Copies of this chain bind each other. A is one copy, B any other.
Amino acid sequence: MIEGVTATPLKIIATPGGDVYHGIRNDDPGYVGFGEAYFSSVLEGTVKPWKRHRRMTLNLIVIHGLIRFVVHDDRRQSATCGVTTEYRMGPSDFYGRLTVSPGLWMAFQGLASGASFLLNVASIPHDPTEADRHACDAFPFDWSSK
């Protein structure tokens, strides 16, 4: 596990005619404010390259399909500096919320057929100047692994 990353299991409430899926409340650990909620989709096999937010805390919930999030820690002061960890999220695999603190590198890949969908409840609104980017091969990870 990487310092500053938390995977929280979430409840699915069985309801006649269609279930209810918990997301995030304003008193949950990992909630640090509301800036914006948006969805990203990712096709099977596609890797969305490395991105590091300087100020945004991510709260990621995969509502459809299966996505692997790969987090890389290159913060010199961190106890987990140098560590790369994979987190697999999706309603049939692990339904939960992945909280990612600012300062960590994250890339993700669609693993289910068709498009997988994530919701990000971001602590600040989108601001292109607060994110850094690297290509998929900037940090070692075998994206062809199953």
Q: Specify how many copies of this chain sit in the oligomer.
A: 2
Binds B, one of A38-46, A98-106, A137-145: A38-46
For A27-70 the 0/1 string (1 means CB < 8 A from B) is: 10000001111111111001110000000000000011000000
* A21 and B38 contact, Cβ closer than 8 Å, known pairs A27-B125, A125-B27: yes
- Contact check, A18 vs B43: say whether CB atoms are below 8 A apart: yes
Any B CB within 8 A of the CB of A96: no
**How many Å lie between the Cα of A48 and that of B20 in the bound state?**
12
- Contact check, B17 vs A43: say whether CB atoms are below 8 A apart: yes
What is the size category of the interface that chain A forms with chain B? 35 or more
Any B CB within 8 A of the CB of A25: yes
**26 residue pairs A–B, Cβ–Cβ below 8 Å:** A15-B40, A17-B46, A17-B47, A18-B41, A18-B46, A18-B48, A18-B110, A19-B41, A20-B39, A20-B41, A21-B39, A21-B41, A22-B38, A23-B39, A23-B119, A24-B36, A25-B35, A25-B36, A26-B34, A26-B35, A37-B37, A37-B119, A39-B63, A63-B117, A64-B117, A119-B119
Given known contacts A17-B42, A17-B47, A18-B48, what 19 new A-B pairs fall within 8 Å (CB)?
A16-B46, A18-B41, A18-B42, A18-B116, A19-B40, A20-B39, A20-B40, A20-B41, A21-B39, A21-B41, A22-B38, A23-B119, A25-B125, A25-B126, A26-B36, A34-B34, A37-B119, A39-B63, A64-B117
